[in-house]
Structure 1
């Protein structure tokens, strides 16, 4: 089971990474904090201090088109905010 699905790269999470050493990841819905901590430490070689998780609900949308009313929704997912030890960082942009 792959715990980490992808990193979250937004302005807010990037600013948190620069100021507070916090990085965001989309993770498996069934993963707990201990599994997430071990997966991040193994994948990026950093020491994790704290893990916060949240379940993001799906957004529902309604569009009015020529062909009629179209309803849809986005997928739900689990998000993890990981704080690494002071002085360490995770570089998502390196080509290693």
Structure 2
């Protein structure tokens, strides 16, 4: 995980909560690598997407236990990052949605 910023951001998240946060403030959401920290997430967004970040909030989400008949399994744990952009910054990635 050290040094490779391309592995930090996995995909953008488009949920009702993130869409509302984007309209209220200037917050976007990403599915990120489980070992990534706030500093790496900030560097990845600023470097790869070329925007200025003011704040990063991170949530670790536990995978749910799911059943298929008599078999029990567990979904993978994952990490979600809420990235607040500085005033005047926009991500064209989210503007068309």
TM-score by length of 2: 0.83
Runs of 4+ with deviation above 6 angstroms? none
Q: Say whether residues 1:25 and 2:30 are aligned partners.
A: yes
* Alignment match, 1:46: 51
Give the CA RMSD over aligned residues: 1.6
Gapped regions of structure 1 (runs ≥ 5): none
Number of corresponding residues: 90
Gapped regions of structure 2 (runs ≥ 5): none
| Structure with greater proportional helix content | 2
* Alignment match, 1:70: 71
Q: Which has the larger radius of gyration?
A: 1
TM-score by length of 1: 0.83
